[in-house]
Amino acid sequence: MKYETLFQGIIRSLRLHWAEASFIILSALFITAFLNFSFPPLYEDQSLLRVFSSEGTNESSPAGYMKGILSQKPLILDALRKSGLETHLKGCTNFYSVEEAGPGLVKLNVRHSNPALLQSLSNDLIKILSDQFLGYSLRPERFERETLEKKKKVLMEEIENGRKEMQLVQNQSGIPALEVNRVALEEEAKRISVKLDEERRKLSTIPKYIKGPNSNFVNEIARLNGELGSARAKLFQLLKTYREKHPKVIAANSEISD
C-alpha cells in the first residue's frame, strides 16, 4: 500500500480537477475585487482636542460649538479642496464626527477609504476648528482690552481737565503755582498708566482659550478713579478759600499723594 503526504495529495487533486480549481480561484478574486470596489474599507483617524476655558462658565459643550462650525459648507469644502478630496466627498457629511471625551476634551473622528489622504484631511479639519473656535474665544479678551483703553483715555482726560481748572483758579486768585500738586497728579497718572500696561501684558500672556473678564482689576480702576476725583474736587474747593500753607490744603495734598 502506497502512502502520500498532504502536499502531494493536494497537488494530485489539483491536477485531476484543475479546471474546477481555476474557476474557484478566479471567482474568489473577482468577488473580492468587486466588494472592495463597491464597499471599500474605511480607515479612521481619531484626534483628542483639549479646550481651555475659565471655571464657572455656563456655556454649552465645546463639541456643540465645533459641530456648528463644521456644519458650515464653505469651511468643509475648503478642507476637502486642500486635501484633494472635493470630488470624492462632495455632498457627504458623514466622514467625520465630533463628540465629548471628558471635561474640556473633544474627540474628532475622521473616516476615509484612502489612508494616505486621511491624515491630511484630519489635520485640515483640526486647523479649521482651531482658527474658528480661537476667534470665538478671543472676543471677550479683545472686548476687555478695548474697555481698559477707553477707561485709561477717560481718566487721562479728567486729569488734564483738573490741571486746567487748577491753573484757571490760580490765575484768577493770584495764588502761586502749586508745583507739588501738579507733580503728584502727574505721578498718579503715570502710576495708573503703568498699571494698565501691566494688565495688558498679563492679558497677552493668558492662554488663547481662557475666557472671562478680570473683574478685580476693573473694580480697582473704578475705586482709584473715584478717590482721585473726590480728592481733586476737595482740593479745588479749598484753593478758593485758603492758600497753599493752610493745614486743610496740606491735608488735601497729602490725600492726593497717597
228: cell is 482721585
Q: Give yes or no for a contact between 115 and 41, defined as CB atoms under 8 angstroms apart.
A: no
Q: Where are the domains of the chain?
A: 43-137, 140-257
Residue range 60-100, pLDDT digits in tens: 566 666 666 666 666 666 666 766 655 555 545 566 777 77
Q: 478680570: which residue's cell? A: 214
Tracing cell 483703553 back to the chain, one arrives at 149
Torsion of CA 71, 72, 78, 81, to 10 degrees: 50
What region does 229 belong to: left with phi over 0, alpha with psi -120 to 50, or beta? alpha
The pLDDT, as a whole number, for residue 213 is 47
* pTM for this model (two decimals): 0.34
- Going by C-beta distance under 8 Å and a sequence separation of 6 or more, which residues neighbour residue 37? none
Cβ contacts of residue 176 below 8 Å, gap of 6+? 170, 244
Choose which CATH entry (3.40.462, 1.10.10, 3.40.50, 3.30.70) describes domain 43-137: 3.30.70
Average confidence (pLDDT) over 233-242: 62
pLDDT digit string (tens) for 123-170? 877 777 776 665 544 455 556 667 777 888 888 888 888 778 777 776
